């Protein structure tokens, strides 16, 4: 299957700082990327849908100014957690798709800890 | 009621046993996905189904569109199959988002 690389896999940051997470499709062009958050023993919660070259569509309750998403190319989307707080500590994972309604390929996820 | 329901929530098996995980959904869909999430967190796509049955190695996935039900079977289970298995559906129409079940935690003991 296709490869989606997410980096970093783990990050610890101080409260008030910003953290950038990258999601790259390595062998296909991802027209759409999705960003999810997962709490312990819970299912994936969609945060936003990102289409190349356009603004991300955020789910209800997700602060767009706090979770900045950029999808500047067909192979790269970034999620920046701004002014991080301990409650932002979570597992963040991206998925990428080439064409609508096709197989979803997921990154390895990023474990964010804000101290 | 969740749009996607999985059962069981937890499943413990002995190595070699035949495993079945079930998924029921309540909306019209264009496709159903079975995903595997290992303890480290990464997710692997196992199957995408819109009808019938698919097989890959020891894994078999079936779907009954009329009954809005899918099953994932693992034959000759092995400890390395231990993971969370997640069912996700993509609605029909232009909505591309996936809706996820809560997952089934499978533990296969040697």
Q: Under an 8 A CB cutoff, do B102 and A111 touch?
A: no
In which residue are the tokens 């390929």 written? A105
Q: What are phi and psi of A52, to 5 degrees?
A: -55, 130
CA distance A15 to chain B (A): 24
Q: Give the best residue of B43, B44, B46 to mutate against chain A (max A CB count within 10 A).
A: B43
CA distance A96 to A104: 6
Half-sphere exposure of A113 (CA within 13 A, CB side): 5
pLDDT top residue among A20 and A30 = A20
Inter-chain touch A108–B42, beta carbons under 8 Å: yes
Spell out which residues of chain A touch residue B48, defining contact as CB-CB under 8 Å: 102-104
Pull the structure tokens for residue A11: 């990050």
A106 vs B contacts (CB less than 8 Å): 35, 42-45
8 Å CB contact between A11 and A114: no
Say whether A10 sits in a helix, a strand or coil: strand
Statement: residue B21 has pLDDT above 70? yes
H helix or E strand, kind and range, residue B4 = strand B4-7
Question: A38-42, B13-17, B19-23: which range is least confident on average?
Answer: A38-42
Q: How many CB atoms lie within 10 A of CB A72?
A: 10
Contacts of B50 in chain A (CB under 8 A): none
**Confidence category of residue A43, pLDDT binned at 50, 70, 90:** confident
**How many Cβ atoms sit within 10 Å of the Cβ of residue B79?**
12
Determine the average pLDDT of the residues in B30-58. Answer: 93
- The rounded distance, in Å, linking the Cα atoms of A5 and B13 is 32
The residue with greater pLDDT, B95 or A45, is A45
Question: For residue A1, is pLDDT > 90?
Answer: no
């Amino acid at each position: 299957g296709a490869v989606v690389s997410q980096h970093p896999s783990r990050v610890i940051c101080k409260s008030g700082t910003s953290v950038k997470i990258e999601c790259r499709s390595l062998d296909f062009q991802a027209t759409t990327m999705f960003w999810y958050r997962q709490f312990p023993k819970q299912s994936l919660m969609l945060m936003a849908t990102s289409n190349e070259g356009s603004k991300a569509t955020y789910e209800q309750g997700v602060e767009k100014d706090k979770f900045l998403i950029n999808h500047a190319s067909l192979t790269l989307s970034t999620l920046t957690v701004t002014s991080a707080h301990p409650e932002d500590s979570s597992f963040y994972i991206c998925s990428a798709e080439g064409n609508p309604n096709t197989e979803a390929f997921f990154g390895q996820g990023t474990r964010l800890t804000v101290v | 009621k969740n749009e996607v329901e999985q059962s069981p929530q937890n499943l413990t098996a002995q190595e070699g046993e035949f495993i079945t995980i079930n998924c029921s959904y309540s909306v019209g869909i264009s496709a159903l996905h079975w995903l595997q999430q290992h303890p480290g967190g990464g997710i692997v796509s196992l199957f995408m189904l819109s009808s019938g049955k698919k097989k890959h190695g020891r894994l078999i996935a079936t779907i009954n569109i009329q009954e809005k039900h899918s099953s994932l079977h693992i034959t000759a289970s092995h400890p390395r199959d231990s993971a969370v298995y997640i069912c996700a559906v993509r609605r029909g129409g232009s909505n591309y988002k996936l809706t996820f079940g809560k997952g089934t935690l499978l533990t296969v003991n040697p």
